[in-house]
């Protein structure tokens, strides 16, 4: 309904123009006739309204695209930092920044896709941004990953946690840490380090500034791509950056 009203708003200015012109020269009967003609046109040719909706949607997509590109350009220093965990080629010619939540089913679905892609394209740098937006278990998972990074095991911990039940518990985190040979007491302490919470807060602030509303969200070059991609779309998005 909102889309319908906004599309109709593209037509209403013409009606208002006729109304204003009428004050300068059109009689009431002439104005009524013009309005009736326009109403009849909409009834007999609904494609007018469909075209208006399509034009509105295209304009909105382009506006959002341009706004996202401007936001990315303005946040370049925060988008990729020396502290960020990285997979793939650290010196790759294309960078993908992935905002993800360990509980997000779409993030989990994309895991094998991204693994396959990185296995095929050896020149891509993947930067991870933990974005725990789905509750306490998400925060727990993000803290575990960032704490594991201090022991050089971010990627290994991430792979394991993403395979745990979505409502991850501290006991499950401990079991994974010990299975990876990590120092669990140290990892548990690091999870409560205010510096790790500060990194999470910075990611949340960055995501808001970029207009990210859910996970996964990918920044590929200068483009923000919301939602999970399949392998073909991922290849296309990276190829567009290279060209």
Same domain, 142 and 35: no
Q: Name the domain boundary from 29, 54, 74.
A: 74
Q: How far apart are CA 37 and CA 42, in angstroms?
A: 9
Torsion angle, alpha carbons of 73, 76, 80, 81, to 10: -170
Q: Where are the alpha helices (DSSP H) in 45-193?
A: 47-74, 76-79, 105-120, 136-149, 154-161, 170-179, 184-191
Residue 187 lies in domain: 77-242
Q: Where is 15: in which H helix or E strand?
A: helix 12-24
Instruction: Decide the pairing of beta strands 94-100 and 124-130.
Output: parallel
**What DSSP string runs through 171-190?**
HHHHHHHHHTT--HHHHHHH
Based on the domain organization, do 101 and 143 belong to the same domain? yes
Same domain (yes/no): 86, 204: yes
Provide the CATH number for the domain around residue 229. 3.40.30.10
Q: Are 177 and 201 members of one domain? A: yes
Q: In this predicted structure, what is the pLDDT of residue 110?
A: 95
What single-letter DSSP state applies at residue 229?
A: -
Domain boundary among 74, 99, 134: 74
106 and 168 assigned to the same domain: yes
Q: What is the Cα 81 distance to its own chain's centre?
A: 19
- Residue 2's pLDDT is 46
Q: Give the SS3 label for residue 102.
A: coil
Instruction: Give the count of domains, the chain.
Output: 2
- 162: three-class secondary structure by DSSP: coil
Is residue 85 domain-shared with residue 165, that is, in the same domain?
Answer: yes
Same domain, 88 and 67: no
Cα angle: 88, vertex 167, 198; to 5 degrees = 60
The answer on 230 and 189 residing in a single domain is yes
User: Where does a domain end: 30, 56, 74?
Assistant: 74
β-bridge mates for residue 87, sequence order:
126
Q: Are residues 122 and 138 in the same domain?
A: yes
- What is the C-alpha end-to-end distance of the chain, expressed in Å? 40
82 plus 170 within the same structural domain: yes
- CA distances 24 to 11, 37, 38, 206, 209, Å, are 21, 20, 20, 53, 48
pLDDT for the residue numbered 71: 76
Contact 167, 133 (CB under 8 A): no
**Does residue 106 share a domain with residue 203?**
yes
Query: Does residue 131 share a domain with residue 52?
Result: no
- Write down the pTM of the prediction: 0.74
pLDDT digits (tens), the chain, 243 positions: 444 444 444 454 554 454 555 545 678 877 777 777 777 777 787 776 666 665 555 555 555 556 667 778 887 889 999 999 999 999 999 999 999 999 999 999 999 999 999 999 999 999 999 999 999 999 999 999 999 999 999 999 999 999 999 999 999 999 999 999 999 999 999 999 999 999 999 999 999 999 999 999 999 988 999 999 999 999 999 999 998
Peptide bond just before 216 cis, omega within 30 deg: yes
- Provide the pLDDT for residue 5: 44
């Amino acid at each position: 309904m909102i889309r319908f009203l906004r599309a109709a708003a593209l037509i209403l200015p013409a009606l208002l123009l006729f109304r204003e012109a009428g004050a300068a020269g059109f009689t009431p009967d002439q104005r009524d006739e013009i309005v009736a003609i326009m109403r009849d046109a909409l009834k007999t040719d609904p494609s007018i309204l469909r075209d208006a909706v399509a034009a509105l949607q295209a304009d909105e997509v382009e506006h959002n695209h341009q706004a996202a590109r401007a936001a990315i350009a303005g946040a370049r220093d925060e988008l990729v930092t020396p502290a960020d965990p990285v997979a793939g080629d650290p010196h790759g010619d294309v960078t993908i920044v992935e905002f993800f939540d360990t509980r997000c089913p779409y993030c989990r679905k994309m895991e094998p896709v991204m693994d396959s892609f990185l296995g095929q394209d050896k020149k891509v740098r993947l930067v991870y941004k933990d974005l725990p937006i789905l509750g306490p278990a998400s925060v727990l998972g993000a803290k575990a990953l960032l704490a594991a990074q201090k022991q050089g095991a971010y990627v290994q911990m991430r792979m394991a946690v993403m395979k745990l039940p979505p409502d991850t518990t501290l006991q499950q985190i401990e079991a994974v840490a010990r299975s990876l040979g990590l120092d669990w007491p140290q990892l548990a302490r690091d999870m409560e380090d205010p510096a790790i919470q500060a990194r999470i807060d910075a990611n949340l602030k960055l995501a808001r500034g970029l207009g990210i509303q859910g996970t996964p969200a990918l920044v590929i070059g200068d483009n923000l791509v919301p939602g999970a991609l399949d392998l073909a779309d991922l290849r296309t998005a990276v190829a567009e950056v290279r060209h």
